[in-house]
Structure 1
Amino acid sequence: MATWNDYKKHVRESNPEIGRDIDEVEERAKIVSAMIDQRHNLNLSQRDLAEMCGLPHSSVARIESGKSSPNLTTLLKIFDTLGLTLTVQTDPHRRMSPITK
C-alpha cells in the first residue's frame, strides 16, 4: 500500500467492521483536534481550560492525549467553554463537519 488512505480502503473492503472502527477513531480525532486547536487559538493552557470547565486538569490532559474518550457531558462542557458547537449526525450519508465555531 502506498498511502494510509490506500490501506484504509483495503481494510474497509476486506473487513467492514474494522473499517467502521477506523472511521470512528478518525471522527473522534477530528473532535479532539478541534478542541486543541481552539484552546490554542484562545491562548489557554490545559489547566486554564480545566478550571474554566470545572474539571480536573488530568481529565483535559487525558482527552487531548487520546488516553480517554470524554463522555458527552464533559465534551459539551468543554466545547461550550471554547465556543464550539458539536453537531450530532444521524444520517451517515449526509456529510458535514462535526464541529462548528
Structure 2
Amino acid sequence: MGNYKTFDKMFNDDKIVSPEDREQINFQVSLIGKMIKAREKKGFSQRDLATLSGVKQSVIARLESMKSTPQIDTLLKILAPLGYTLSITPIENKQ
C-alpha cells in the first residue's frame, strides 16, 4: 500500500483509483449487497435461488463473493424470484 495507512485512503486517491472506477466498484458492492440481503430476507440459500432462477449455484456464489461481475441477463434471472428487477433511474443532481 506504499504510503497509505488505510485501504480507504488508498481507495479514495484519484491517482490510484479513478473516480469512475470508484463509482463502478461502489455500485457493484451495493448491488450485490442488496441481492444478498433480498435472498436472505426470503430465507433462500444460494442453492434454493439457483433452483428458482435457473442460474448455477456456483455462479451465484461467485457473484456474491465479488469474484465475477454479473451479466444483465443473469442478474435479471436471479432477481426475479427475489421479487426484484432492474430499472434505469435518473442520477440525482449532486449540487
Identity %: 33
Q: Which amino acid aligns with 2:92?
A: R
Task: Write 1 or 2 for the structure with the bigger share of helix.
Answer: 1
Q: Number of residue pairs matched?
A: 89
Q: Which amino acid aligns with 2:78?
A: I
Q: Deviations over 1:25-61 (max 9, x none)?
A: 1001111001000100011000100110011110000
Q: Secondary structure at the match of 1:86?
A: coil
Structure 1 equivalent of residue 46 of structure 2 = 46
Residues 6 and 57 of structure 1, relative CA distance in 2, 3 Å threshold = closer
CA distance in 2: counterparts of 1:65 and 1:72, whole angstroms = 17
**What TM-score, normalized by structure 1, do the two folds share?**
0.74
**What TM-score, normalized by structure 2, do the two folds share?**
0.78
CA RMSD of aligned residues (A): 2.5
Structure 1 equivalent of residue 92 of structure 2 = 94
Matches within 5 A, 1:43-82: 43-82=43-82
